[in-house]
C-alpha cells in the first residue's frame, strides 16, 4: 500500500471517528436531556374532523376489507380478546383509565362534582377574554380568570337554553365516574360586564380568518347568545389543563414512540367499551379528534394522560341545537345502511325515520333536553359519527365488563350526576335521569344476556359463592335459573366432576384443588326462559382463594 | 435507544410491580382485583399480519398526503375561507359557476356578474336587471351573455334586452331522422350571436307569460372534432339545410308555470313550459318554420318525501312553411344527460346530439328514493327509463323507432343543491356513464 493510499485510509478513519463521535454524542446528549427534563417527548399526533372522516369512513372502511386476519375472525366467528385485562378480567389503572365507581362506589357529592381542580372561573375581577372562535353564528371564548387559570366557555344556542351546557357538564361527570380522564367542566352564569377583552385577544371568525378581537366584535358575539330572565349568560366552562399537549390519541393503534403505551388502543377494553358508554350517553360525536394527550405532573412524576375532551354532542344535544334524528343511528357515511336502503328501493323505513315519524316530526322533550328518548333504541345498533374498529371489536366479555360498570350506578347516582347540569326546571333533569336510567338497563340487559353474568366470586375455604348480575339487577328471575358447574383436573383436560345448582354458591371438595396448583372451575348459566346456555366464566381457585377469572369472549 | 430503554424499563416495572402486588395481596389474604397482574406480560403487537400490512402499503401512500392536506385545511380554516369567498363574491355580484361537460372530461367554469350589485346600485334600483355571464368549457364551449332590463313593472311585468355570443367547439352530427347511424359521426363548430328582447308578465310567482323577439346569426365550420368526418363528405347525397350557417329572426311566445319546491332537487310540484315560435330566415336564408314545444314534469311523492316519482314529457316539432326549411342545427336533438350547457334532450344511453330531427317525443320516468341522510346531506338513488323518438313528420312516428335508455344513478345533495350526480345508462348502443354537479329535471 503506498503512502497516498494510507493517508486516504487514515483520513477516512478520522472522518468515521468524527461521525461516530457525533452520533454517540447525540445519543448521550438526548438521553441526558431526556433525564434532565424528566418529561416524555414523543411525536405529536394530530387529527381533525376532516381527517377523522377520511380515515375512518373511507380509508379504514376500505383497507380493513383487505385484512386477512379480520376476515378469518369473521368467517370462523372468532372474537379478538382485549389485551389489557388482568387475571381477574378487570382493567387495571393506566393513563387511559382509572377505576373509580367500579372499584368503590362514589358518594353522590363526588359524582355530582366530577373532576374538579377549582370551583370554576374566579370572578373577583372580570374574566379576560384572550381568544374567541365563531362556529356558525355562535361564539366560544377562551378566558383567563383572576387566578391566572384559563377556561374554554361554550354557550347554549338560541331557543335551547341549558341544552348544550347541561349535556356537556353531565356527560363529563359520567365519563369521569366511569373511569376516563376528562378536563374540569363547570357551569357558570355570568353577566355581560364580567367580561373584559384582553388587548392581544384574537378571534377565528366563521369566515376562516383570524382577526383581532375588538370590544365591538365581542359585544356582537354576545348579542346572539341567549340570556336568562336575570340577564345572565350560561356557559359550560372547561378548564384548560396545564401540561405538555401531544395532540389527540388514536382509538386504533398505540403511540409507538411512547414506551408506556404498549397495547394497541383498539385492543384496550376501556377504549372498546367507549362505544357502549357513548350509546348510554347518546354521545354520537365521540371521536379521536375530540381527545387529548397531555403530559402532566402527578405525585412529582411526569405522566402522560389520555383525555376525552368534548361532550356537547351528548344526550339530546349537538353544538347547533337539538340532536338531529339520525344521529346515533347512522355513521356520517354508513355503507351498510345505505346499501340496505338501495336494495329496498326506498321502501325501508330506517329506525330513526320511524321514530321521527312516530313523534310527528317534533322533538317530544323540552328545548333544554333536546332529542333524547329511548324509543327504538337498540344497544347493538348504536352508531357514533365515525365507524371505529375498536367499537366493533367489543367481545361478550368486554360488554359484560361495561354492563357491570353501568349497573354500578344506582338511580340515585345517576340523578346526582344529572344534577350537575343545573337545570332551572326540575322536570328537565328528571327527564334526562329517567332516560339514562332506562337506557342503562337496556344496555346492561343486552350485554349480560349475551355474556356470562356471574361475578363477585368469593371463596371462604370450602364454599365458592358468586353473584348473578342478571338476577341481582332484576333482568332475570332466580326461578328457572340453573348454574352448570364443571371442575377440571389439574392438567385441565379432564372433567373431575360436573353438576348443576340453582343457588349461587356451592361447596368445594378439598380433593378438587391440587396440592401445588389451582382448580379450574367453569361456570355457565341456563335460564328456563331462553333455554340457552351462557358462555363460560372460568375461575381459578386454590386454598388461598380465587386466583383468576376469565370470561369467554 | 433511550426510548427502547424506557420501554424495557416500563415493561419490567409492570411485571415487577405486578409480582409485588401479587405477593402483597397473597400475604394479606385479599386480592386487589384491579392490580396490573396479567396472565402473560403485555407486549406490543402489530395491527395486521405481514401480508395484510403489505397489501395496505400502497394505500398508505395515499393516506399520508390526504391526512396532512385535510389537517392543514382544517387547521387553517381553508374550507371556511373558500365558503366565505364564494358567499362574498355572490353578494358583491360575482357568482362563480362550474360544472361537468359531456363533450370533454374537463369541467367548465365561469361566473355570472350582477352589474347592479357590482356597481352598488342594487338597493337603490332593486327592480333593474343587469347581468353578464361568461362561461368557458376548455375544448368545449365559450359563452358570453348579457341581459339588461327591469322587473316588477305594474306588479308583475318585466322587459329586458339580451345579447349572447356562444361558440360550440365540438357539436356532433350523425344525420337526420331516427335511422341515423353512430358510424356516420361527423362534427362541426358553431358560432352563434344573438340579440333580442323579452317582455312579459308574471301573473303569480309560479306563472309567467313572455314574448321574445330575437335575431340570431349562426356560423358553421365543418369538421371541428378530431377523428370525426366532415358533414359535406359523409352526407354528400343528403340535403342538410343550414350547412353554411343562417341568419334568423325569431318570434316566440312562452308560457311557464313552475310549482316545484326546488329547481335542483324537487320533491313535489310540477313545471310546464309551452312555447310557440316562428322563425324566418333573413338574407339568403331559406329557413321558415313554426316551432311548437311542450316540456312538462310532475313530481309525485309516494306516501313519503323520501320516495319521489318524476314523470317528464317533452315534445317539440318544427313545421316548415312556404317551402322553407329547418336548419339542421336548430332541429330537436336527443342524447346524453340533457344538463346545461348541453342542448340535447335527456336520452341517457345515447351520446350527445345522437339524433337530429324536425320533431321529437320524449318520456322520462324516474324514481328517486333517499338512501342516506346525514344532517343536511342527502343521497338519493334514481332508477330511470328514457323513451324517446326523433321524427321528421308526425305521420312517420313509429313504435320501432323509439329509443330507450334505462339505468340508475346516485345524487348527492346538500340543502337541496346537487353536489354530485353519478349515473349509468344502458341502451342498444351500449352503456354510458355520467358524472356531473347537476341533474336534468
The string of pLDDT tens digits covering residues B410-428 is: 999 998 899 999 999 999 9
* pLDDT reported for residue A34: 38
**Residue B55 binned pLDDT confidence (cut-offs 50, 70, 90):** very high
**SS3 of residue B323 by DSSP:** coil
For residue B63, which residues of chain A lie inside 8 Å, CB to CB?
A: 55, 59
The contacts of residue A433 (CB under 8 Å, 6+ apart) are A411, A414, A415, A418
Nearest-angstrom CA–CA distance, B128 and B433: 42
The pLDDT of residue A462: 87
Q: For residues B19 and B1, give the distance between their C-alpha atoms in angstroms, rounded to a whole number.
A: 27
Contact at CB, A93 and B9, closer than 8 angstroms: no
Q: Cα–Cα distance between B211 and B192 in angstroms, integer? A: 21
Residues B61 and B67: their CA atoms lie apart, in Å, by 10
* Distance from the A147 Cα atom to the nearest Cα atom in chain B, whole angstroms: 30
* Beta strands, E only, A19-118: none
Residue A192 lies in a domain: yes
Q: Which residues contact A481 (CB under 8 A, 6 or more apart)?
A: A468, A471, A502, A525, A526, A527, A528
How far apart CA A248 and CA A265 sit, in angstroms, is: 13
Mean of the per-residue pLDDT values of chain A? 90
Rounded Cα gap, residues A286 and A309, in angstroms = 9
Distance of CA B159 to the CA centre of its chain: 29
pLDDT of res. B18: 43
A207 touches chain B (CB under 8 A): yes
- Ranges of beta strands (E only) in B38-118 are 94-101, 104-114
Q: Is residue A129 in some structural domain?
A: yes
Least reliable range by pLDDT among A393-407, A408-422, B230-244, B295-309: B230-244
pLDDT of residue A191: 95
SS3 content of chain A, % helix, strand, coil (to 5): 35, 25, 40
How far is A436 from A279, CA to CA, in rounded Å? 10
User: pLDDT category, A169, cuts 50, 70, 90?
Assistant: very high
> Is the bond leading into B341 cis (omega within 30 degrees of zero)?
yes
Q: Residue A488 — pLDDT band, cuts 50, 70, 90?
A: confident
Cβ–Cβ contact B57 with A under 8 A: no
Residue that is last in its domain, among A245, A280, A300: A245
Inside any domain, residue A486: yes
Q: Once rounded to an integer, what is the mean pLDDT over residues B2-12?
A: 46
Distance from CA of B375 to the nearest CA of A (A): 7
Give A84's contacts in chain B (Cβ within 8 Å).
42
Q: How confident is the model at residue B237 (pLDDT cuts 50, 70, 90)?
A: confident
Residue A515 in any domain: the answer is yes
Quote the mean pLDDT of chain B. 89
B52 touches chain A (CB under 8 A): yes
Q: Residue A260 — φ and ψ, nearest 5°?
A: -85, -10
B-chain residues within 8 Å CB-CB of A548?
39
Q: Which residue has the higher pLDDT, B284 or A413?
A: A413
Which residue among A200, A220, A245 closes a domain? A245
Percentage of chain A exceeding pLDDT 90: 81
User: Does residue A177 belong to any structural domain of this protein?
Assistant: yes
C-alpha cell at B271: 313545471
Per-residue confidence band for A64, with pLDDT thresholds at 50, 70 and 90:
very high
pLDDT for the residue numbered A10: 54
Task: Indicate whether A33 belongs to any domain.
Answer: no
Distance CA A486, CA A495 (A): 7
Higher pLDDT, A340 or B30: A340
Cα three-residue angle A100-A104-A109, rounded to 5 degrees:
75
d(CA A150, CA A143): 6
Q: What is the pLDDT of residues B304-356, one digit of tens each?
A: 999 999 999 999 999 999 889 999 999 999 999 988 777 899 999 999 999 99
Disruptive mutation site among A84, A251, A259, A336 for chain B (greatest number of B CBs within 10 Å):
A259
- Asked if residue A268 belongs to a domain, the reply is no
Q: Tell me the residues of chain A between 280 and 339 that have a Cβ less than 8 Å away from chain B.
A: 324, 326, 330, 332-334, 337-338
Our CA-based measurement puts residue A119 at a distance from the nearest CA of chain B, in whole angstroms, of: 31
Structural domain of residue A144, as residue ranges?
A: 111-245
Distance of CA B56 to the CA centre of its chain: 35
For the residues B14-38, what does the mean pLDDT come to? 58
Across the interface, do A267 and B77 touch by the CB < 8 Å criterion?
Answer: no
Mind listing the pLDDT tens digit for each residue in A180-217? 999 999 999 999 999 999 999 999 999 999 999 999 99
Predicted confidence at residue B44, as pLDDT, reads 86
Contacts by A349-354, CB closer than 8 A, 24 or more apart = A350/A326, A351/A376, A351/A378, A351/A381, A352/A325, A352/A326, A352/A328, A352/A376, A353/A325, A353/B306
Question: What's the pLDDT tens digit per position in A415-467?
Answer: 999 999 999 999 999 999 999 999 999 999 999 999 999 999 999 888 999 99
Residue B65: pLDDT over 80: yes
Domain end position, chosen among A245, A278, A299:
A245
User: Is A33 in CB contact (< 8 Å) with chain B?
Assistant: no
Is the alpha carbon torsion for A423, A426, A431, A435 positive or negative? positive
Residues of chain B with C-beta less than 8 angstroms from the C-beta of A347: 307
User: Within a 10 A sphere around the Cβ of A530, how many other Cβ atoms?
Assistant: 12
C-alpha cell belonging to residue B337 = 344527460
Chain A CB contacts of B48 below 8 Å: 67, 69
From chain B, the residues in CB contact with A256 under 8 A are: 44
E strand spans, B3-140: 94-101, 104-114, 128-137
* B15 has pLDDT over 60: no
CA separation for the pair B74, A459 (Å, rounded): 57
Per-residue cell: A480? 328457572
Of B367, B372, B375, the CB nearest to A338: B372
Looking at residue A493, what DSSP letter applies? S
Tell me, yes or no, whether A490 lies in a domain. yes
Task: Tell me what pLDDT residue A36 has.
Answer: 37
Does A298 have pLDDT greater than 90? no
Share of chain A above pLDDT 70, in %: 91
d(CA B278, CA B100): 33
Helix (H, G, I), strand (E, B) or coil at A423: coil
Query: B137: distance to nearest CA of chain A, Å?
Result: 30
Integer distance in angstroms from the first to the last C-alpha of chain B?
Answer: 66
Residues 104-163 of chain A with CB under 8 A from chain B are none
User: Which grid coordinates belong to A158?
Assistant: 338560541
Cβ-in-10-Å burial (0-12, 13-18, 19+) of B181 comes to exposed
Predicted confidence at residue B227, as pLDDT, reads 62
In the numeric block, the cell 363547570 is attached to A186
In chain A, residues with a C-beta closer than 8 Å to the C-beta of B375 are 324, 326
Separation between Cα atoms, residue B333 and residue B235, nearest integer Å:
18
Tell me the pLDDT band of A82, cut-offs 50, 70 and 90: very high
Provide the domain count of chain A: 2
Distance CA A292, CA A246 (A): 7
Order across the sheet with A244-245: list the strands.
A244-245, A291-298, A301-308
Min Cα separation B372/chain A (Å): 6
CA distance B267 to B304: 10
Q: Indicate the pairing of strand B430-436 with strand B417-427.
A: antiparallel
Per-residue pLDDT at B16 = 44
| CB-based contact A166:A422 (threshold 8 Å) | yes
Average pLDDT over residues A103-115: 96
- What pLDDT score does B224 carry? 60
Contacts of A96 (CB under 8 A, 6+ apart): A180, A181, A265, A268, A270, A271, A306
Residues A483-495 have a mean pLDDT of: 81
DSSP 8-class letter at A54 = I
The set of cell numbers assigned to A436 is: 339514562
pLDDT tens-digit readout, A264-281: 999 999 999 999 999 999
ipTM here: 0.84
- In sequence order, which residues have a C-beta less than 8 Å from that of residue B287 and are 6 or more positions away? B241, B242, B246, B248, B279, B280, B281, B324, B325, B326, B327, B330
The answer on pLDDT for A408 being more than 90 is yes
Per the model's pLDDT, the better-predicted residue between B29 and B382 turns out to be B382
Amino acid at each position: 500500500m503506498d503512502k497516498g493510499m494510507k493517508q486516504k485510509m487514515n483520513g477516512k478513519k478520522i472522518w468515521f471517528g468524527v461521525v461516530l463521535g457525533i452520533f454517540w454524542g447525540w445519543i448521550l446528549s438526548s438521553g441526558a436531556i431526556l433525564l434532565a427534563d424528566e418529561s416524555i417527548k414523543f411525536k405529536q399526533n394530530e387529527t381533525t374532523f376532516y381527517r377523522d372522516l377520511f380515515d375512518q369512513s373511507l380509508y379504514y372502511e376500505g383497507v380493513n376489507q383487505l385484512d386477512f386476519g379480520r376476515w378469518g375472525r369473521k368467517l370462523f366467528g372468532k372474537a379478538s380478546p382485549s389485551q389489557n385485562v388482568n387475571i381477574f378480567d378487570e382493567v387495571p389503572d393506566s393513563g387511559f383509565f382509572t377505576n373509580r365507581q367500579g372499584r368503590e362506589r362514589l358518594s353522590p357529592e363526588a359524582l355530582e362534582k366530577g373532576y374538579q381542580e377549582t370551583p370554576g372561573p374566579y370572578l373577583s375581577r372580570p374574566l379576560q377574554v384572550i381568544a374567541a372562535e365563531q362556529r356558525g353564528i355562535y361564539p366560544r371564548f377562551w378566558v383567563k380568570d383572576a387566578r391566572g387559570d384559563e377556561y374554554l366557555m361554550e354557550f347554549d344556542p338560541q331557543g335551547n337554553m341549558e341544552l348544550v351546557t347541561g349535556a356537556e357538564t353531565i356527560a363529563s361527570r359520567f365519563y369521569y365516574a366511569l373511569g376516563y380522564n376528562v378536563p374540569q367542566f363547570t357551569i357558570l352564569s355570568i353577566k355581560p360586564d364580567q367580561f373584559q377583552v384582553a388587548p392581544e385577544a384574537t378571534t377565528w371568525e366563521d369566515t376562516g380568518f383570524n382577526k383581532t378581537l375588538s370590544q365591538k366584535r365581542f359585544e356582537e358575539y354576545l348579542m346572539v347568545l341567549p340570556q336568562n330572565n336575570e340577564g345572565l349568560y350560561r356557559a359550560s366552562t372547561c378548564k384548560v389543563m396545564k401540561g405538555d399537549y401531544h395532540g389527540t390519541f388514536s382509538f386504533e393503534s398505540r403511540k409507538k414512540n411512547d414506551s408506556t403505551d404498549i397495547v394497541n388502543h383498539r385492543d384496550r377494553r376501556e377504549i372498546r367499551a367507549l362505544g357502549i358508554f357513548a350509546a348510554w350517553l347518546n354521545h354520537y360525536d365521540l371521536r379521536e379528534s375530540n381527545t387529548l394527550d397531555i403530559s402532566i405532573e402527578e405525585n412529582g412524576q411526569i405522566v402522560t394522560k389520555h383525555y376525552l375532551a368534548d361532550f356537547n354532542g351528548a344526550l339530546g344535544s349537538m353544538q347547533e341545537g337539538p340532536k338531529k334524528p339520525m344521529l346515533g343511528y347512522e355513521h356520517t357515511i354508513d355503507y351498510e345502511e345505505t346499501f340496505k336502503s338501495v336494495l329496498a328501493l326506498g321502501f325501508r323505513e330506517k329506525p330513526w325515520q320511524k321514530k321521527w315519524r312516530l313523534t310527528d316530526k317534533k322533538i317530544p322533550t323540552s328545548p333544554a333536553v333536546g332529542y333524547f328518548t329511548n324509543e327504538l333504541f337498540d344497544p347493538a345498533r348504536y352508531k357514533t359519527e365515525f365507524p371505529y374498529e375498536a367499537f366493533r371489536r367489543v367481545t361478550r366479555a368486554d360488554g359484560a365488563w361495561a354492563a357491570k360498570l353501568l349497573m354500578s350506578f344506582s338511580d340515585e347516582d345517576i340523578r346526582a350526576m344529572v344534577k350537575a347540569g343545573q337545570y332551572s326546571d326540575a322536570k328537565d333533569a328528571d327527564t334526562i335521569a329517567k332516560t339514562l336510567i332506562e337506557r342503562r338497563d337496556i344496555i346492561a340487559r343486552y350485554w349480560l344476556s349475551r355474556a356470562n353474568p356471574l361475578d363477585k366470586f368469593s371463596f371462604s375455604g370450602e364454599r365458592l359463592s358468586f353473584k348473578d348480575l342478571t338476577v341481582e339487577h332484576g333482568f332475570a328471575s332466580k326461578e328457572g335459573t340453573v348454574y352448570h358447574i364443571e371442575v377440571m383436573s389439574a392438567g385441565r383436560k379432564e372433567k373431575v366432576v360436573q353438576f348443576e345448582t340453582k343457588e349461587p354458591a356451592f361447596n368445594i371438595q378439598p380433593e378438587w384443588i391440587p396440592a401445588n396448583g389451582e382448580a379450574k372451575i367453569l361456570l355457565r348459566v341456563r335460564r328456563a326462559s331462553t333455554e340457552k346456555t351462557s358462555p363460560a366464566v372460568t375461575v381459578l381457585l386454590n386454598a388461598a382463594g380465587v386466583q383468576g377469572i376469565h370470561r369467554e369472549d | 435507544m433511550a426510548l427502547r430503554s424506557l420501554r424495557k424499563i416500563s415493561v419490567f416495572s409492570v411485571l415487577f410491580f405486578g409480582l409485588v402486588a401479587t405477593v402483597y395481596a397473597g400475604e394479606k389474604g385479599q386480592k386487589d382485583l384491579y392490580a396490573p397482574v396479567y396472565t402473560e406480560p403485555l407486549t406490543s403487537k402489530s395491527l395486521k399480519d405481514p401480508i395484510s400490512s403489505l397489501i395496505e402499503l400502497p394505500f398508505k401512500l395515499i393516506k399520508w398526503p390526504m391526512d396532512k392536506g385535510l389537517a392543514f385545511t382544517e387547521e387553517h380554516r381553508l374550507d371556511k375561507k373558500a365558503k366565505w369567498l364564494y358567499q362574498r363574491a355572490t353578494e358583491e355580484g360575482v357568482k362563480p359557476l362550474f360544472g361537468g361537460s359531456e363533450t370533454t372530461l374537463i369541467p367548465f367554469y365561469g361566473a355570472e356578474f350582477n352589474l347592479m350589485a357590482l356597481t352598488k346600485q342594487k338597493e337603490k334600483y332593486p327592480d333593474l336587471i343587469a347581468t353578464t355571464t361568461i362561461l368557458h368549457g376548455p375544448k368545449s364551449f365559450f359563452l358570453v351573455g348579457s341581459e339588461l332590463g327591469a322587473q316588477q313593472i305594474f306588479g308583475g311585468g318585466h322587459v329586458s334586452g339580451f345579447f349572447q355570443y356562444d361558440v360550440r367547439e365540438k357539436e356532433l352530427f350523425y344525420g337526420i331522422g331516427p335511422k341515423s347511424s353512430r358510424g356516420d359521426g361527423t362534427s362541426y363548430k358553431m358560432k352563434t350571436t344573438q340579440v333580442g328582447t323579452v317582455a312579459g308578465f308574471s301573473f303569480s310567482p309560479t306563472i309567467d307569460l313572455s314574448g321574445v323577439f330575437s335575431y340570431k346569426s349562426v356560423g358553421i365550420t365543418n369538421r371541428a372534432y378530431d377523428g370525426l368526418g366532415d358533414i359535406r363528405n359523409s352526407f354528400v347525397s343528403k340535403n342538410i339545410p343550414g350547412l353554411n350557417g343562417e341568419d334568423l329572426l325569431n318570434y316566440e311566445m312562452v308560457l311557464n308555470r313552475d310549482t316545484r319546491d326546488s329547481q335542483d332537487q324537487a320533491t313535489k310540484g310540477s313545471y310546464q313550459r309551452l312555447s310557440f315560435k316562428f322563425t324566418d330566415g333573413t338574407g339568403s336564408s331559406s329557413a321558415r318554420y313554426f316551432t311548437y314545444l311542450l316540456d312538462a314534469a310532475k313530481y309525485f311523492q309516494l306516501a313519503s318525501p323520501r320516495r319521489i316519482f318524476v314523470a317528464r314529457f317533452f315534445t317539440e316539432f318544427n313545421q316548415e312553411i312556404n317551402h322553407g326549411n329547418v336548419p339542421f342545427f336548430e332541429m330537436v336533438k336527443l342524447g346524453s344527460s340533457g344538463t346545461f350547457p348541453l342542448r340535447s334532450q335527456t336520452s341517457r344511453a345515447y351520446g350527445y346530439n345522437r339524433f337530429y330531427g324536425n320533431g321529437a317525443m320524449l318520456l322520462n320516468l324516474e324514481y328517486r328514493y333517499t338512501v342516506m341522510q346525514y344532517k343536511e346531506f342527502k343521497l338519493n338513488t334514481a332508477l330511470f327509463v328514457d323513451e324517446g323518438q326523433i321524427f321528421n313528420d308526425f305521420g312517420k312516428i313509429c313504435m320501432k323507432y323509439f329509443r330507450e335508455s334505462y339505468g340508475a344513478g346516485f345524487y348527492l345533495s346538500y340543502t337541496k343543491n346537487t353536489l354530485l350526480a353519478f349515473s349509468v345508462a344502458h341502451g342498444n348502443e351500449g352503456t354510458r356513464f355520467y358524472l356531473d354537479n347537476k341533474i336534468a329535471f
